[in-house]
Structure 1
C-alpha cells in the first residue's frame, strides 16, 4: 500500500492534508512530538472530521497511524514512503529538516524510488525553504540522489481549521471549503492521484491569490476586531466598521492580482464573496487572537499586509485600506504572543515611526509610511 508521512498531527494535519491523503488510498503516518496524540492514533487508527457548516456532517478517516517525529522509527517510515507533507508552521520546518535528510539518505542506501515533499504551510515558497534546510544536512551523494529522485513542490493551501473540542482527542472540526494547489513541474515519478489536489504550472499566481485575498482579509478582520474587543472572526466581519476596511482591502489586492496575473475580474470578485461568506460562518469559532498571531511575520514586505500594498503600488493602484489594515496590526497587543510582545516592546523603546519603517520597508515620510502612521493614530482611540 502507498504510504504518506504527514509531519504535524495537529488540527490542520488531521483535518485537511492527512485526510485527503488517506481518502486517496495512502496509509498516512502522522509524525509529531505530541506523545499523547501519537499514542491515540496508534490505538484508534481512525478519527472523525466534523464539517462545521449550515449542513453539518461527519467523516471518518481510517488507515492512519502515528510516529514520534523525534524518534528513530521515523527514518524507516520516510525510507518507505511515496510522499511527505507538512503542517507544522513555517518556523518549525528547520527542526524537521535533519530528520527528512536522514530519511533521504536511508532511501539512497536502499535504492528507493521517487519521493515527493510538499510543505503545506501558510508561507510563500515553504517547500523551497524546507528544501534548502534539508539539503544543508545531506551528503554530496545524498544531494545527487535527491536531485534525481526527490521532488520538492511548493503549494498553496486553504482551509479554515479552528480549535475544536470533540468527544475524542483526535476529532477535528473544519469548514466545508478546501483548496490544495500544487506545483506540478516539480513532482517526481509521475502525478499522484489525490482527489482534492489541483495541479498547476503557474503556482505563484495561486499562492499570491490566496495569500493576498484570504489571508489578507483574515488578518485585517482579526486586527481590527481585536482593537474593538471582538473575540471571533465571524463576529468581527459582521461589524460594519471592520467590514468597511477588510472588504475594500481585499478588493484593492484583488485589483492588483487581476492586473498582474490576468485573473478573470468577475471570477475573482466571486472568490472574494466566497471568502467573506466563509468569515461569516457562525459554526467556525475562529478567535481573532489565533488569526492575528505572529504580527511581525505578517507585516513583512512580501506577506499578507504589506505584500499586496507593494503590488498595488507597483501597478499604480489604490491601497489605502490595505495600509489601514497594516496600521491595525501595529496595535496588536497580546502578551501571550511572543511576536506581539516583541513588536510592542520595540514600539515602546524606539517609537512607532522607526518600527513601522523597519518592519515594512517603507521609507520615513514616504506616501505609504505616512498613511500607516495616520491610521495608527486614528486606531489608537479604538482600543478596547
Structure 2
C-alpha cells in the first residue's frame, strides 16, 4: 500500500493536504506533537471533512493513522514512505528537519533505492527549499549524496481557507470548497505521483506570487481593517462597504504589479480577484480576524503579503495608495493575545513609526515611509 506522511495534523493537514493524499489512494500517517489528536486518529481511524460553501458536502477520510513526531517510531514510518508533506508553519520546519534527516539516513542504511519527495505546504515562498537546507544541515556527506540521488524537495503554493471551527468530533474539520495546490514539476525525483487536485506547475513563482499578492494580501488587509472597526470575522469585515472598497483597490494595485511582472491576462486576473473576494464573504467559515491577522511582524516583512506587493507595484510606477492603507492598518494591530503584535507596538513606541516600520520591512524610500506613517495615523478615519 502506498504510504504518505503528513507532518502537522492540524486543520490544514487534515482538511487539505492529508485529505487529498488519502483520496489519491495513500495510507496517510499524520505526524504531530499533539497526543490528543494522534490518539483520536488512531482510535477512530477516520474523520470527516465538512465542505461548507454555496454547496455543502462531506468527505469521509478513513485510510489513516497517527504517530507522535518526537518518538522513535516516527523515524521508522519514513522508511517506506513515497511522499512526505508538511503543514506545520514556517517557523516549525527547522524543528522537524533533524527528524526527516534521520528518516533519510535510515533509508540509506537500509538500502532503500525508492524515490521520496518531500513537499512543504506552507504559506511561504520556496518553503520546500528552506526545509531542504535545514535537512541537509543534519545529514553527513554520505547522507547528502544519497538525498541528492533519491530525495526531491519540490516547492509549491497552497491555497485553501481552513478556519479553526470547533466540531462535535474535534478532529473533524470545516473547509471551503475552493483550493489550489501547485507543485514544481521539475523538482520531483522519480515518477511523479498521480494526485487529483495537485497541479504540476512550470513557472511556480508566478503561482506563488499570484496567491501571495491576491488572497494573502486581501485576507490580511480585510482582517486588519475589520479588527480596527471591531468586527470578529472576515465575512463581517468584507461586508463593510468602506473596507470592501479599500481591499478590492489594494488587490487591484498588487495585481498591476503581477500583470506587469508575469504577463498575466488583465481581465482574467481581475476575475480572479473577484473570486477571492467572494471567498472572503463565505459566512460558513466564520474566519476570525485575529487568526488571519496573527503574527504581524512576519506579515510586514520584506518578502511577505503586504510589503512585497507594495514594492513590486511601486517599482513599476503604479499607484499603491490602498496597499499603504492596508499596511497602516497592520501597524495599528494591537492584540495583547498575539506576541508579535505586542512586540510590534513596543517597537513603534520605542523607535517611532517610520523607524520601526523600516526596520521590520526593509523599506528605506523616504516618500513611502512618510505615506505609511500618514496611513497609520489616518486609517481609522478612512473606515
TM-score (norm 1): 0.98
Q: Report the Cα distance in structure 1 between the residues aligned to 2:137 and 2:364, rounded to whole angstroms.
A: 35
Q: What are the residue-to-residue correspondences of 1:228-239 with 2, within 5 Å?
A: 228-239=229-240
Structure 1 unaligned blocks of 5 or more:
none
SS in 2 for 1:263: coil
Aligned residue for 1:32?
32
- Write out aligned runs for 1:227-266 (5 A): 227-266=228-267
**3-state secondary structure, aligned to 2:142:** helix
Structure-2 residue corresponding to 1:82: 82
For the 8 Å contact 1:298–1:305, the answer to whether it is kept is: yes
Deviates more, 1:312-321 or 1:282-291: 312-321
| Cα root mean square deviation, aligned | 1.1
Moved more, 288-297 or 257-266: 257-266
Q: What are the within-5 Å matches in structure 2 for residues 1-384 of structure 1?
A: 1-112=1-112, 113-363=114-364, 366-379=366-379
Distance in structure 2 (CA, Å) of the matches to 1:370 and 1:167 = 50
Q: Quick one: distance in 2 between partners of 1:310 and 1:346? A: 22
Shift of 1:61: 0.7
Over residues 40-66 of structure 1, what are the superposed CA-to-partner deviations in whole Å (9 max), with x where a residue is unaligned?
A: 111111110001112211110110000
Q: Distance in 2 between matches of 1:243 and 1:34?
A: 38
**1:253 shift after superposition:** 0.8
Q: Is 1:161–1:175's contact at 8 Å kept on the other side of the alignment?
A: yes
User: In terms of mean alpha carbon deviation, does 346-355 or 29-38 score higher?
Assistant: 346-355
The SS at the match of 1:67 is: strand
2: CA distance, partners of 1:61 / 1:88? 20
What is the SS of the residue equivalent to 2:54? coil
Indicate if the aligned counterparts of 1:115 and 1:188 stay in contact, CA closer than 8 A: yes
Three-state SS of the structure 2 residue aligned to 1:25 is coil
For each residue in 1:10-53, what CA deviation from the matched residue of structure 2 results, as whole angstroms up to 9, or x when unmatched? 01000000000000000000000000110111111111000111
- Could you report, residue by residue, the CA deviation over 1:119-163 in whole angstroms, capped at 9, with x for unpaired residues? 000011111111111000001100000011000011000000011
- Distance in 1 of aligned mates of 2:77 and 2:364: 50
Counterpart Cα distance in 1 of 2:357 and 2:245: 23
- Is the 8 Å Cα contact of residues 331 and 380 (structure 1) preserved in structure 2? no
Moved over 6 A (4+): none
Shift of 1:382: 7.5
- In structure 1, what is the Cα distance between the partners aligned to 2:19 and 2:183? 16
2:325–2:372 contact (8 Å) kept in structure 1: yes
